[in-house]
Amino acid sequence: MNDWIDTRQAILAAAQAMLRDGLVVGTSGNVSARCTDDSLAITASGTNYSSMTLDDIVVVDFDGEPIVGSAIPSTEMLMHAAIYRARPGVGAVMHTHSAYASGLAVAGQALPPLIDEVVVHLGGAIEVSEYAFPGTEELGDRVVAALGERNAALVRNHGLVGVGKTPAEAMQACQIAEHSARIYFIAKTIGVPQEIPQDAFATEVELFRMQQAAEGLQ
């Protein structure tokens, strides 16, 4: 039987890095990776990242039926499954409650394209989803709508989602979004944030799309 050891190991490493990097506090947030067309490996619900082991990364189908492991999957499993269904090229999803991105999500404000790396790596302005109750299928649908073809989305009154080919890439998407959200707050305290010029934005979106196509990450 395939235990998906390498996939679960990559999730574990990203989950622990997510804690070290301050993207989550306590047991909040979750990380997953696609196993097959209709299954994923995901962090268990309510487990401390610092003491997390491979046993706390379970494999379930997109309806949450267990395949490997007996721990209870993250309460946001349905949101992760909704993203894998909508974006066949996505291989991993990270969800955090990092402070600056969550601040924007609470204010209901999208993260504008203020610095180049947001467009090149994430695909443009990072949109805010409509509100939905945590753990519901509706939340998944709304996050998918906010994500579109991009690699990050803000979850209204809740937090942030980043996607990539691997858990490390999904984490990088979250780091870029959080860092840029922080820059946005700083810029707002000293003046009026200026978006990057329209022609540069258009070029960078094109670069992003080419990169996504090359990696099969649509």
Give the active site residues: 76
For residues 116-137, b (16+ Cβ closer than 10 Å) or e, as one string?
Answer: eebbbbbbbbbbbbeebeeeee
**Which residue number is nearest to Zn ion in terms of Cβ?**
159
Nearest alpha-carbon partner for 173 in 88, 81, 95: 95
Q: Which is nearer to Zn ion, 64 or 89 (CB)?
A: 64
Site for Zn ion, residues 189 to 218, rule: CB under 5 A? none
The one segment of 10-18, 62-70, 159-167, 191-199 that binds Zn ion by CB under 5 A: 159-167
Nearest alpha-carbon partner for 135 in 155, 111, 165, 110: 155
Q: Which is nearer to Zn ion, 159 or 167 (CB)?
A: 159
- Letters for 13-42 (x = contact with Zn ion by CB under 5 A, - = none) are ------------------------------
Q: Which is nearer to Zn ion, 35 or 154 (CB)?
A: 154
Residue with tokens 């090359």: 214
Site for Zn ion, residues 58 to 117, rule: CB under 5 A? none
Q: Which is nearer to Zn ion, 64 or 193 (CB)?
A: 64
Helical spans, DSSP H, in the chain: 5-20, 77-86, 99-107, 116-117, 137-147, 167-190, 198-215
CB 167 to Zn ion: min, Å: 17
The one segment of 36-44, 107-115, 152-160, 186-194 that binds Zn ion by CB under 5 A: 152-160
Spell out the residues 6+ positions from residue 212 whose beta carbon is closer than 8 angstroms to its own. 89, 123, 149, 218
Determine the Cα–Cα distance for residues 36 and 25; give it in Å rounded to an integer: 30
CB 47 to Zn ion: min, Å: 14
Nearest alpha-carbon partner for 83 in 94, 74, 73: 94
CB 198 to Zn ion: min, Å: 34
Residue with tokens 């291989």: 91
CB 46 to Zn ion: min, Å: 12
Residues that bind Zn ion (CB under 5 A): 159
